[in-house]
Amino acid sequence: HQQHGTQQDLQAQPINLAKFIAAHGLGDMALSGNEPKNVKKLAKISAKFQIPADEAIHLALADFPLFGGPYGMALTRSAFYTKDLMEDPLRLPLAQVDERSLRYCDDGKEMRINSDTPVFFPVHIKSSVREQLLDLLKQEIRLLKS
């Protein structure tokens, strides 16, 4: 193929954020910053994750338990935020985030980025959706960095 110029490159189809959320029933946990219905939840996330007012959330993957406030992760154009239940949030500047390093731990219950930084997400997300979710997060980080 290389010699004759017939090599075809597979192009990954971009994942549509809104369709992905709707198709997998993640509307209560995966929140797009473009949806007006998410304004209140995104405001709670911004407050608890200590996201500056000038940083709009592009995508959040969070749970809202009865006590302790929201936990999970959020993406803005400037940074990647992650917060565990009842813990302080962690902010990683997007320029320092390597989306290729985003992966699940061997048990599938935890996510890591940049080799050892924990990424918190709602643990009750179905395991059948997790690989696609990982691809979506990598895509969205790449989009925000470009």
Q: Residue 133 class from Cβ within 10 Å (0-12 exposed, 13-18 middle, 19+ buried)?
A: buried
Rg (CA), the chain: 16
Give the pLDDT score at 27: 82
Give the pLDDT score at 98: 93
Backbone angles phi, psi at 34, to 5 degrees: -85, -10
What are the tens digits of pLDDT across the range 55-82?
Answer: 999 999 999 988 878 999 999 999 999 9
* Euclidean distance between CA atoms 109 and 72, whole angstroms: 13
Give the pLDDT score at 11: 57
pTM of the model: 0.85
What are the tens digits of pLDDT across the range 11-33?
Answer: 567 888 888 888 888 888 899 99
Confidence of residue 93 (pLDDT cuts 50, 70, 90): very high
Give the pLDDT score at 125: 83
> For residues 26 and 138, which has the higher predicted lDDT (pLDDT)?
138
